Amino acid sequence: MVDTTVDIKTIAEEFARAVAKPARRVNICAGTGCVANGALKVFDALKSKLQQENLPVVVNLIEEGEGAIHISKSGCQGFCQMGPLLTILPENILYTKVKVSDVDQIVDETLKKGTIVDRLLYKDISTGKNCKGTDDIPFYTRQTRRILSLCGNIDPEDIREYIYHDGYAAARRVYCEMTDVEVCNEILKSGLRGRGGGGFPTGKKWDLARVEPGPKKYIICNGDEGDPGAFMNRSVMEGNPHSVIEGMMIAARAIGADEGYVYVRA
């Protein structure tokens, strides 16, 4: 039998070692808006340029990435109107409206010499100043991101990165240490409510489902963008899909379901 506690801890520790090895990370937004504006072509061009220049590059984090440049794709970073976006860490430089033709300069100036390419920075229209990244762009500094906190910062296709950020620890806890009643009570106490407009207390909803008799229960994740022009469900599902799966697992534990579906129309 797999010891889940040890496995999650080991995965997180191994990932922590791997993520510390590259000298830099270049994170290209691969959300729908940026992809529509050519982000994947920018990613491919960047990879080719780094290889041409004989710079060590890793796409999937592996232990041998010492001193390399780690290039990754993220979900939506939120600032879609300025995409394609490209973030360079650890400096936290955010380049906006990046095109394939910008890649040579990004590599030559920033990745080789550490110089910022001013023309690719976001200019704050109220002050006229260039903003280096999310720490000084008003769009980001005015937000407190909770559900979207990891969206745009992690590789959504790498489960290890989600686990590294405490992913699946709560699911492990509810399955190994809590009863269904305790889960419902904990969620009720947290004050979590539905975000569809009615604001119904989630713990109450789960408890009502829990006490329903029946041989089989399902978890249905409603990922439908019911409001015109809404993309918040897509942002979470594309940018941090494991958080959706973990939430479904926790809800399933609370109500006694053993099967789940995600509902999306487009």
Q: By CB under 6 A, name the binding residues for ligand FES.
A: 29, 31-34, 76-80, 83, 85
List the one residue out of 18, 25, 22, 40 whose CA is nearest residue 110.
25
Q: Which is nearer to ligand FES, 12 or 94 (CB)?
A: 94
CB of 32 to ligand FES, least distance (A): 6
192: left (phi over 0), alpha (psi -120 to 50) or beta: beta
CB of 79 to ligand FES, least distance (A): 5
Q: How many Å apart are CA 199 and CA 129, to the nearest integer?
A: 40
Q: Which is nearer to ligand FES, 140 or 168 (CB)?
A: 140
Q: Which is nearer to ligand FES, 86 or 103 (CB)?
A: 86
Q: Which is nearer to ligand FES, 18 or 34 (CB)?
A: 34
Q: Which is nearer to ligand FES, 175 or 231 (CB)?
A: 231
Q: Which is nearer to ligand FES, 98 or 255 (CB)?
A: 98
| Nearest position to ligand FES, beta carbon | 31
CB of 57 to ligand FES, least distance (A): 22
CB of 43 to ligand FES, least distance (A): 12
Maximum Cα–Cα distance across the chain: 66
CB of 29 to ligand FES, least distance (A): 3
Q: How many Å apart are CA 124 and CA 110, to the nearest integer?
A: 21
Asked if 212 and 145 count as a contact pair (C-beta separation under 8 A), the reply is: no
CB of 35 to ligand FES, least distance (A): 7
Q: Which is nearer to ligand FES, 65 or 78 (CB)?
A: 78
CB of 30 to ligand FES, least distance (A): 8
Q: How many Å apart are CA 168 and CA 224, to the nearest integer?
A: 24
CB of 211 to ligand FES, least distance (A): 41
Q: Which is nearer to ligand FES, 80 or 163 (CB)?
A: 80
